[in-house]
Amino acid sequence: MALVTWLGVLIVTTIIGRLLAPLAAYLPAFLLSLFATGLTVLALTYFLMPNLTRLFYPWLYPNRK
């Protein structure tokens, strides 16, 4: 599960970092970090992790069917 979570965080932080890059010059670092981490948690919780868990289900839970 740690590897799947790492994969999700990698994907989301890369995308969010690129989306928020234009704001980096205008926002204080703390505010930028607040937005980035908030968006990351939301994206992982509601969109990416449920899909990654389904995708990797056979690998994560090999003895369940």
Say how far residue 54 (Cα) sits from the centre of its chain: 16
Res. 65 pLDDT band, cuts 50 70 90: low
What SS3 class is residue 35?
helix
Nearest to 8 by CA among 34, 43, 39: 43
pLDDT tens, position by position, 12-47: 999 999 999 999 889 999 999 999 999 999 999 999
Amino acid at 34: L
For residue 27, give the DSSP letter. Answer: S
State the pLDDT at residue 9.
Answer: 97
Task: Answer for the pair 32, 24: CB distance below 8 angstroms, yes or no.
Answer: yes
Sequence length of the chain is 65
Q: Kindly list the domain boundaries of the chain, sorted by start residue.
A: 2-60
State the pLDDT at residue 64.
Answer: 80
